[in-house]
Structure 1
Amino acid sequence: MRTHLAFGLLIGLSYGAVAQQPAIDSSKYLPLTTWTTAQDHADMMQQLGIRALRPGPSGNEADPNHANYDEAKADPCPQLPDVLTTRNGKKVTTPDQWWKQRRPELIDDFEREMYGKVPAHTPKVDWTVNVTDNEFVGRIPVIAKQLTGRVDNSTYPLIRVNINMVLVLPQNVKGPVPVMMMLGFPALPAPAQPSLADLEKLNAAFKELMIKSDPTLKAIFDRYPAYSPITRLPGPNFFAPPPTGDSSPTEQLLAAGWGYCTIEPSSIQADNGAGLTRGIIGLVNKGQPRKPGDWGALRAWAWGASRALDYLETEPQVNARQVGVEGVSRYGKAALVAMAFDQRFALGLIGSSGKGGTTLQRRVFGEAVESLANSGEYHWMAGNYLKYATAESSFGSRSGCDLPVDSHELLALCAPRPTFVSYGIPEKGDAKWLDQTGSYKATVAAGPVFTLLGARGLGVSSDYNTERMPEVQTGLLTGELAWRQHTGGHTDAPNFQYVIPWASKRLRYERVAR
């Protein structure tokens, strides 16, 4: 039994409930639209004039409609849009042309056709520190903060959005320190222990409350007068070996003098189509369905990461010019979108991101455009993305080959900042479905922009159709654009021992002990 949790519950019951929110007169606002995912998806198809979408392939290779895993059939349109050629056919040869002309063109295309545009007027976010505690991670002393980012909902109070985040900073190094922002599930380190004197007071109060709740418990406590319901948890192990490459990524970061924070994407925007009239997207739209160009969940999660970065800019122990963003799978997609659109992020670690992330959209290998456009994952993208899985519509049929942009250009938007693309292997669970080869091709094709801007690419040619993916465990880590496929599964954890020194070198950061 976790007696410290029970004690907290009793305290809450004894001293009264949290103050109630004031009642809202809902008649003053547009009524909330409450749809299922299928209803929302059908509405978007109707708005776009789409009568039928092509179904996505099955991930089960035994099914008749199984995904293609034949490289000979994977590239129906092998020539990618040239990242350094403008819409009017002009070749980009200078950094000035990139920043002023080509990059804005790409951003416009990605916002219109894939990820949606963040509204011009999004609500502000006020961050509150709920808990500040001195903890240990392994044998590393840290200060840990649990925070809530409350999004201003004064224009539509029927929807509340509270962003959850945890920030952990090392206390044994001189700051300010770099921070890796991770998209995932925030949790504080194990709680610090009260002193023996404080613990004695807690036990006395706990016994009193329990007896008050159930008087028969007094006889039990009288029989065991030395018993303490609340006991100390194990403290930090100061004799533990130092962190290694097998240690958790967070412990490796702290040992290298980095901090980390974890932000919860689902507290920004739900990961389903039914939630599109809630969360930050629903709040801005005042509870109404999206239009085809409105942002999807990936862009919303990236927006939330940027608001977390706003907070980090106020933390004196954080070097806000050295904040990275990291994620795996769908959160890898979101991390890449955040990195591409917000140039304040200093580096990106993009793990096993697949379609919608680093894998080429026009490739037909494993996961397809149709997989994202159908009702399971369409909410990640703008409504306009559905056009590229269309079988029948008022404008004909389209495929991924018709997209004006592709993932190599999304990677190029990160240049010249350090960008690390990470994958595992199918044998350990990083499925072929993710198309590791398609991601490598995109990374190669992004290289010329890094070079143009004075950074270093992978150290290979820019010919994405002839370059072959390196052997597993062979990292291309000499430049600002990096690639490494590890021998683990659907995670980037095995690559952290390579990412941290690679990133520290490029940020010119050296750990200095206090």
Structure 2
Amino acid sequence: MKTAVHFSIFLFVCTMSFAQFDTNYEESQVREFNLPNPLTTFAGEKISNISEWSEKRRPELFEFFENQVYGKVPGKLDSASFKLLEENENALNGKARRKQVEVTLSKNEKSIRFTILMFLPKKSSATPIFLGYNFFGNHTITNDANVIVSEAWAMNSEEMHISDHRLTEASRGLRGHRWAIEKILEGGFGLATIYYGEIDPDKYDLSDGLHELFYEKRQERPKNNEWGSLAAWAFGYSSALDYFEQDRDVDPTKVVVFGHSRLGKAALWAGASDQRFAGVISNASGCGGAALSKRRFGETINVINTSFPHWFCRNFKKYNNNEEALAVDQHQLLTLIAPTPVYVASAQDDQWADPKGEFLSAYHASTVYALFNKKGIATNQMPELHTPIHTAVGYHIRAGKHDVTDYDWEQYIKWANEVLELNQ
């Protein structure tokens, strides 16, 4: 009861906070700013080749993002174990194979568990796969009655029939429109998804979930430079990849990590933190994801840190209304993923996420991909609607709102086939 009351107060504060923010949606009101060069070190040294990037520039950029933005993971797990809960060779009316795998992460004699739901093409092995979190439980992505309903804490939602922070059968299939499962299977990929609340509940209370496993005696919250929820969700992505490395049904060298909105932010940090991923997709990730922070367009650092104080490390709060002091920007987050292909996607009506800022981030990251002879984005002029760029640094903007659509998935499937060279 205490947690429910605490979170209700938090939501009220967030709602009041949004009303107080002076949000800019006018391009003419974007102030001039200095965008840091990915190929110039903090000391001013120019980077001209892969060796210099790998030995000098990338380590200092990663250290900055790790200590000042997303937060460090304070140690390693004691163990991780995997258990096959259920499988079926004729799921989705005979169109797919279904697997449900429980992952247990343990440290300091404590553990958390999460379930990976997988749909795989029939009669295939070593399948390339898209991996993505869902917001309201694995059972919401499909009408399949055999998909397990999680018992983890959930955000209340009238639309999703969730009250008392408990997921329910009534929400089965209600987010199916965001997961083009049949298109993914027809494209030669499998789909793996996890309810993100099983990794870390999305509330301003870091006493549960993954963080709590790593606390020292009497510690109640992460240190100033230690991980928030975004880094915990990124850690969960990597833990799923650990499982795929021992599952013969999946090709672990061809796992593309995907995320929408806040989970797009987590996907980008996962790709920067763990270079085993074969591709990274950011769908409308906005502030703290792909969008340039220094533009201060739509959602800003101050807004996101005030409304969601648990997402980033506490050090990041020093940049509230102080983007000028930030020695990096989000295009450099994308460069940390290089040479792994990365795709950034925007929606025309999603000005809160700053589509232009997302595009410019991809454009400015392309210089680092060029070091690896990977084709990026050649011009700083945004493409027209529905004219995707399918290069190692990919991008599209579509009509519509903050969501995931079939059009998005059609681009991701085509792009992944191209950059992973699956149809050669």
Q: Which amino acid aligns with 1:484?
A: H
2:131 pairs with 1:181: yes
- Please state how far the C-alpha of 1:156 moved relative to its aligned partner: 4.6
8 Å Cα contact 1:168-1:260 kept in structure 2: yes
Query: What secondary structure is seen at the aligned counterpart in 2 of 1:316?
Result: coil
- Is the 1:135–1:191 Cα contact (8 Å) retained in structure 2? no
Tell me the equivalent position of 2:122.
171
When residues 191 and 369 of structure 1 are mapped into structure 2, their CA distance, relative to the original with a 3 A threshold, is: closer
Deviations 1:396-455 (A, max 9, x none): xx60121111110001111122211111221xxxx3111111111111110100111110
1:137 to partner: Cα distance? 2.8
Secondary structure of the corresponding residue to residue 259 of structure 2 = strand
Mapped pair 1:373 → 2:284: no
Q: Which residue in 1 is equivalent to 2:396?
A: 484
Q: Could you tell me which residue of structure 2 aligns to residue 443 of structure 1?
A: 362
Q: Deviations over 1:253-290 (max 9, x none)?
A: 1112211100122111111112x121111221155222
- Does residue 106 of structure 2 align to residue 152 of structure 1? yes
Amino acid at match of 1:498: Q
- Do the aligned partners of residues 364 and 128 (structure 1) sit closer, same or farther apart at CA in structure 2, a change above 3 Å counting? same
Mapped pair 1:285 → 2:198: no
Match of 2:97 in 1: 143
The answer for the alignment partner of 1:418 in structure 2 is 341
Counterpart-to-counterpart distance in 2, 1:123 and 1:402 = 38
- Post-superposition shift, 1:56? 11
2:414 is equivalent to residue 501 of structure 1:
yes
Deviation at 1:71, TM superposition (A): 1.4
> SS state of the match for residue 365, structure 1?
coil
Q: What is the rounded CA distance, in whole Å, between the counterparts of 2:260 and 2:118 in structure 1?
A: 19
Aligned 8 A contact 1:423 1:492 in 2: no
Amino acid at match of 1:302: A
1 CA distance for matches of 2:93 and 2:347?
A: 27
- 5 Å-filtered alignment, 1:214-253, equals 248-253=179-184
Q: Secondary structure at the match of 1:405?
A: coil
Which letter maps to 2:209?
G
Measure how far apart 1:181 and its partner are.
0.3
2:383 counterpart of 1:432: no
Cα distance in structure 2, aligned partners of 1:130 and 1:267: 16
Kept in 1: contact 2:178–2:403 (CA 8 A): no
**Structure 2 unaligned spans of 5+:** 147-176
Asked if 1:67 is matched to 2:18, the reply is no
Mapping of residues 307-326 of structure 1, within 5 Å: 307-326=239-258
Matched-pair contact (CA < 8 Å) for 1:360–1:442: yes
CA distance in 2, matches of 1:171, 1:39: 48
Larger Rg: 1
> Which 10-residue stretch deviates more, 499-508 or 106-115?
499-508
Q: Tell me, yes or no, if the aligned pair for 1:84 and 1:102 is still in contact at 8 Å.
A: yes
Aligned length: 382
Kept in 2, the 8 Å contact 1:277–1:285? The answer is no
Deviation sequence 1:449-480 (CA, Å, 0-9, x none)? 0111110002x24xxxxx23211111122x21
What secondary structure, in the 3-state scheme, does the structure 2 residue paired with 1:301 have?
helix
Q: CA deviation at 1:492?
A: 3.1
Cα separation, 2, equivalents of 1:400 and 1:65: 16
Residues 162-214 of structure 1 deviation map (CA, whole Å, 9 limit, x = unaligned):
12211221113x4311010011132376258xxxxxxxxxxxxxxxxxxxxxx
The TM-score, its normalising length taken from structure 2, stands at: 0.84
In the alignment, the residues of structure 2 paired with residue 506 and residue 270 of structure 1 have an alpha-carbon distance, to the nearest angstrom, of 34
